[in-house]
Amino acid sequence: MINEYGIPENTDTFILIEHGKWYSKSSAALEVCRNLKGLWKLLVVLRLIPRPLRDSIYTIVAKNRYKWFGSRDHCMIPTPENKNRFIE
């Protein structure tokens, strides 16, 4: 896919490929938000911030996310009540 979409080989970040176009870092995250339901869609307004600044903030959050938000030793197993929210 790297060659097919012209993504630089040394890319080590979040990549979204949608409708034949690829997005990385903050642009990928905002595209995901655009496709979510609810208030998440409103985050698309952050596209007004120049991409270099957005990507700098994205990089800071990515480097510190486990320190700020913690991490888990295992994946969540969906309960019967929320299992319908997952693709099998």
* Assessment of whether the complete model's pTM goes beyond 0.95: no
Q: How many CB atoms lie within 10 A of CB 26?
A: 24
Cβ–Cβ < 8 Å for 46, 54: yes
Q: Which helix (H) or strand (E) holds 16?
A: strand 15-18
When mean pLDDT is compared over 9-18, 44-53, 65-74, the highest value belongs to: 44-53
Instruction: Tell me the pLDDT tens digit for each residue of 19-62.
Output: 999 999 999 999 999 989 899 999 999 999 999 999 999 999 99
**Domain ranges across the chain:** 2-69
- Rounded distance between C-alpha atoms, residue 15 and residue 58, angstroms: 13
